[in-house]
């Protein structure tokens, strides 16, 4: 591990920088449990997503799973290590990262994860992977979905000396029922779609990507009486 600072110091620095450089808005954060283990499942479009999650108004103890390729970026490595993040090797089934995530949840922390498994360069949702579902089932942890919008163009705006508007919308927490071994793959797929559609419903329609028109997404939109923009 390289140079780090205390988590509280990192939080103070982030709050100052995010207030100065961005217009960050948070909605539905009352859905985040104030204490205890929770998985915060988010879309991932930009390197700005990590500080947006860190700055949520409820859980200062939130950390995240981050692709280990970012260890080659000194600033990102500094932020992740100081924030007690978990490095994840996405080229394989990373059981070490899984165990570390379990340990953090066992300690009652909040863990941010992107079920897509990678950053979406086009700003649209990619097909979800089952890792988040498997971790939630194994650890018996509730999931809070969050849709982050505006970060796809945020870095470009910052480079042009503009303050990007970054919006994080949190949805209701939910739990997944244990899986019957007989139809495990089918249920994992359905659960993964459920997580992704609960993220999608929190995003403007232009971000829906792979899940655009998904039957479950349509149900959620109808249930919540939403008008998509």
Domains of the chain by residue range? 7-222
CATH class of the domain comprising 7-222: alpha beta
In this predicted structure, what is the pLDDT of residue 12? 85
Average pLDDT of the chain? 91
Tell whether the model's pLDDT for residue 115 goes beyond 90. Answer: yes
- Measured CA to CA, the distance from residue 23 to residue 113 in angstroms comes to 23
What DSSP element (H or E) covers 20? Answer: helix 7-21
- Measured CA to CA, the distance from residue 148 to residue 170 in angstroms comes to 9
Tell whether the model's pLDDT for residue 226 goes beyond 60. Answer: no
Read off the pLDDT of residues 173-186 as tens digits, 9 standing for 90 and up: 999 999 877 788 99
Backbone angles phi, psi at 120, to 5 degrees: -85, 110
Query: pTM of the prediction?
Result: 0.91
In this predicted structure, what is the pLDDT of residue 14? 82
User: Across-strand partners of 168?
Assistant: 26, 148
- Measured CA to CA, the distance from residue 8 to residue 70 in angstroms comes to 22
Q: Which residues, other chains included, contact 173 with Cβ-Cβ below 8 Å and sequence gap of 6+?
A: 31, 32, 33, 38, 142, 143, 144
What DSSP element (H or E) covers 65? Answer: strand 63-67
Tell whether the model's pLDDT for residue 41 goes beyond 60. Answer: yes
Confidence of residue 227 (pLDDT cuts 50, 70, 90): low
In this predicted structure, what is the pLDDT of residue 2? 59
In this predicted structure, what is the pLDDT of residue 62? 93
Choice among 20-29, 100-109, 113-122 with the minimum mean pLDDT:
113-122
Tell whether the model's pLDDT for residue 35 goes beyond 90. Answer: yes
Terminal CA-CA length for the chain: 44
Tell whether the model's pLDDT for residue 46 goes beyond 70. Answer: yes
Count CB neighbours of 116 within 10 A: 23
């Amino acid at each position: 591990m390289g140079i780090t600072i205390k988590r509280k110091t990192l939080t103070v620095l982030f709050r100052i920088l995010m207030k100065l450089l961005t217009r960050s808005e948070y909605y539905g954060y009352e859905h985040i449990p104030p204490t205890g283990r929770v998985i915060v499942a988010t879309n991932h479009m930009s390197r700005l997503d990590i500080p947006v999650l860190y700055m949520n108004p409820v859980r200062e103890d939130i950390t995240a799973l981050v692709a280990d390729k970012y260890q080659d970026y000194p600033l990102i490595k500094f932020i992740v290590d100081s924030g007690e993040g978990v490095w994840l090797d996405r080229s394989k089934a990373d059981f070490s990262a899984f165990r570390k995530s379990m340990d953090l949840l066992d300690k009652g922390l909040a863990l941010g994860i992107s079920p897509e498994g990678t950053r979406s360069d086009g700003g649209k949702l990619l097909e979800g992977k089952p890792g988040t579902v498997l971790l939630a089932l194994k650890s018996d942890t509730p999931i809070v979905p969050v849709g982050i919008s505006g970060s796809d163009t945020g870095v470009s705006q910052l480079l042009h000396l503009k303050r990007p508007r970054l919006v994080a919308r949190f949805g209701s927490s939910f739990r997944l029922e244990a899986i019957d071994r007989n139809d495990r793959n089918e249920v994992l797929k359905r659960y993964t779609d459920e997580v992704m559609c609960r993220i999608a419903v929190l995003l403007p329609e232009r971000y829906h990507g792979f899940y655009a028109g998904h039957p479950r997404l349509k149900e959620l939109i109808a249930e919540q009486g939403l008008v998509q923009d």
